Chain A
Amino acid sequence: MFTDFFYTLRKRKVPVSVTEWMTLMEALNGNCITNLDEFYYLARAILVKSEAHYDHYDVAFQEYFKGIEGPADISEQILEWLKDPINRMTLTEAERALFDNMDLDELIKELEKRLKEQTEQHDGGDYWIGRGGSSPFGHSGYNPAGIRIGGQSGGRHAIQVAQERRFRNYRSDLTLDVRQIKMALRGLRELNRIGPEDELDLEKTIQATCKNAGDIEFVWTRSRKNAVKVLLLMDVGGSMQPFAQLCSLLFSAAHSSSHFKDFQYFYFHNCIYDSLYRDIERREAISTEHLLRTLEPDYKVVLVGDASMAVQELTERYGAIYYYERNDTPGIIWLKRIADHFTHSVWLNPETQNSWNHPTVQMTGKLFPMFELTLDGLGQAAKKLVVKK
């Protein structure tokens, strides 16, 4: 049953497993549902396990069940709408006059005819049923005698609910806010036993007590704490301007994440050369060399930038876009030094992956594993940063 729907869901990136699918089949066997609306909610409750995937689900549902909801259903809804005199009251005087001009039966006949002729969803235009436009049928239209189908009219149907795609904002590949980023950063942890000995080690206590001929002897141990140290390097150059908001979110999340043992951050423009900066205005410089000398290799390095620049800015001596920067060493060498010095480093790119074919992005991508600056990308990056090498 509906096996294609399973694959439609998977195609739309809803992570459905066979276990869940079997659960759904079990539920369907139990005659729990009687119509498509109930199926929509039932299947969503069983198959989708995160509000981040609700939107993917809506899209897949729309794709698979489009056209299932027959015309009869819609005209029934309209008939009901028309039967209720209160609905007529919501029209203005002029509209009502116009409305009365049109014969009701005629209107419905015409609607059914058009519904049959129409094969796809339609927005705009003045004939087909859909949204906008001035056809008498559909919603958000201009025709004063028009009948609102779906839209705000009380009885909501599954396809329409799916069409609304209200959960678009919960998609994890789109939205980021500080809290969500913090969540993603929580993946960055390595638990080590550090700090004062304040945890009772039961095993050893028993052991020691036995040795002590039953006289209780407590053994304490250090509790497990996160040992991850993070170094954040952010590009604040001109081409990063559109992503300033996103980067500041990442920064505030990382900065307020209390679970890192140490957190250091520096800024650069376009590419890293001889110096890094403590502030966005680049007043307080610190030499990159010094940084590499003083920071231990076990810092997890997160570089944020679009990595797209003129090729010579990356590969040539004195290639820096600011002439006073006068770099003796090409930027790419500096990047390589960073990649070599630290054991774990990643590059987060706010641009979407399909625009990464720029030559300098490619070159940087060879030095650092590159991820999109989205929740998914951040999660993958965090994983990359804690794997043992």
Chain B
Amino acid sequence: MSNDGFDRFKGSSDYVTSRPLRSAVNVSITLQRPLLIRGEPGTGKTLLAHSIAKGLKKKLIIWNIKSTTKAQEGLYVYDTVQRLNDSRFGDRDVSDIKQYIKLGKLGQAFASPEQIVLLIDEVDKADIEFPNDLLNELDEMSFYIPETNETISAIHRPIAVITSNAEKELPDAFLRRCIFHYIEFPDAKLMEEIVKVHFPDIKNNLLQEALRTFYSLRQIDQFRKKPSTSELIDWIRALIAGGLAEEKISSEIPFIGTLLKKEPDYNYFVKTRMSRSGDYDTRR
């Protein structure tokens, strides 16, 4: 293992990282282990993989996990039904099994002639056993296709990024093989940088006003879902487009719908607001 690869990832122009996160990414690249990322929704877990791919100028393959996803699908799919169908109507040469083997996302990542970034998004959406089924494949970065007696092994071990929302506990054996990082909610200073990346020429007082309002909203514990980074970005975009006066931001909080996504939260907000300033215009 060489050291020259270590400080490779430094973030990219459109994604601001913290030092611990950069460190975790670089460890995972150097040790060639999958990087498991956890954190509140909207803290940029998925975007991290995009940023790594961009920063290192590598291709990105995304494998979106759903509740029905099986580990096997990531490796390859043997389209038996198609073959059966073809055998009935004699369209194709059914003795050539290869044409019915379709590589999944993981298989594509292994077979790629250059090193790529592989994002396994929301791994915890799938069945509890799902990560266990991938243990060996992620370890060895290779798998065997019995139908064609072929072994697909990674030409270059992909940089694997796995995100999780902690909806399910991940198995210990799986965790042991990963590098783990928990993305904390960014503090105001980091958030300022993040916003500036998205809106390079935002007016400073607009930014300060928006951030102050945003963090004061986040302090309300009664909310079921506190607004997060992506909501803040949307909100600021709306604020800029709306072109409202800055001093109105904290007093009126326009476009509140971009920040609060749940009806009870919205109702709670309107109610407390009403009780504070009795003559608040609800039509707004």
Residue A31 interfacial (CB < 8 Å)? yes
* Shortest Cβ gap from A299 to chain B (Å): 23
Known: A26-B1, A45-B24. A183 touches B179 (CB 8 A): no
A51 lies within 8 A of chain B by Cβ: yes
Would you give the 0/1 interface string for B167-190, flagging 1 where the beta carbon is closer than 8 Å to chain A? Answer: 111001001111111101000000
Inter-chain CA distance A48–B2, complex, in Å, is 24
Docked-complex contact A32 and B3, CB < 8 angstroms:
yes
Q: Which of A146-181 contact B (CB under 8 A)?
A: 166-167, 170
| Separation of A15 and B84 alpha carbons in the complex (Å) | 50
Q: In the docked arrangement, what's the CA distance between A202 and B70, Å?
A: 15
A216 near B84 with CB under 8 A, answer yes
A51 vs B36: C-alpha distance when bound (angstroms): 12
Inter-chain CA distance A32–B8, complex, in Å, is 11
Assembled-state Cα–Cα distance A50/B166 (Å): 9
- Which of chain B's residues have a CB closer than 8 A to the CB of A166? 184
- The answer on a CB contact under 8 Å between A41 and B19 is yes
Q: Are A30 and B178 in touch, CB under 8 angstroms?
A: no
Q: Report if A63 contacts B (CB, 8 A).
A: no
Q: Which of B15-39 contact A (CB under 8 A)?
A: 19-20, 23-24, 26-28, 30-31, 33, 36, 38
Q: Which of A16-24, A76-84, A327-335 contacts B (4 or more CB under 8 A)?
A: A16-24
Query: Which of A20, A27, A31, A183 has a CB less than 8 Å from the CB of B166?
Result: A183
Determine the residue in chain B with the shortest Cβ distance to A170. B182
Q: Is the CB of B84 within 8 A of A32?
A: no
What is the bound-complex CA distance between A116 and B53, given in angstroms? 49
Q: How far is the CB of B43 from chain A (nearest CB, A)?
A: 12
Asked whether A44 lies within 8 Å of B20 as measured between CB atoms, the reply is yes
Q: Are A41 and B23 in contact (CB under 8 A)?
A: yes
A206 to B181, CA, bound (A): 46
Tell whether, in the assembled complex, residue A27 and residue B182 are in contact, meaning their CB atoms are under 8 Å apart: no
| CA gap between A26 and B168 in the complex, in Å | 30
Bound complex: CA A38 to CA B26 (Å): 11
Question: Which of B30, B38, B177 is A30 in contact with, Cβ under 8 Å?
Answer: B30
Min CB–CB distance B119 → chain A (angstroms): 18
Q: Using CB atoms, name the residue of chain B closest to A45.
A: B24
**Is B269's CB within 8 Å of the partner chain A?**
no
B84–A209 contact, CB under 8 A? yes
0/1 interface trace, chain B 36-55, chain A, CB 8 Å (1 if under): 10100000000000000000
How far, in whole Å, are A166 and B85 apart by their CA atoms in the complex?
60
- Contact among B27, B166, B169 for A42, CB-based, below 8 A: B27
CB of B3 within 8 A of CB of A50, answer: no
Report the Cα distance A141→B84, complex, angstroms: 79
- List of B residues within 8 angstroms of A170 by Cβ: 182
Contacts of A54 in B (CB 8 A): 182
**Distance from B138 Cβ to chain A, minimum over Cβ atoms (Å):** 14
Contact with B along A240-266 (1 / 0, CB 8 A): 000000000000000000000000000
Residues in B with CB closer than 8 Å to A51 are 38, 182
Q: In whole angstroms, how far apart are the Cα atoms of A170 and B184 in the complex? A: 11
A238 interface residue (CB < 8 Å to B):
no
- Interface assignment of B6: CB less than 8 Å from any CB of chain A: yes
Residues of chain B within 8 A of A97, CB atoms compared: none
Is A46 in contact with chain B by the CB < 8 A criterion? yes
A220 to chain B: closest CB distance in Å? 14
Judge if B57 is at the interface, Cβ distance under 8 Å: no
Contact indicator A32/B26 (Cβ below 8 Å): yes
A49 at the B interface (CB under 8 A): yes
Other than A45-B27, A46-B179, A214-B88, give 4 A-B pairs with Cβ distance below 8 A. A41-B19, A46-B27, A49-B175, A216-B88
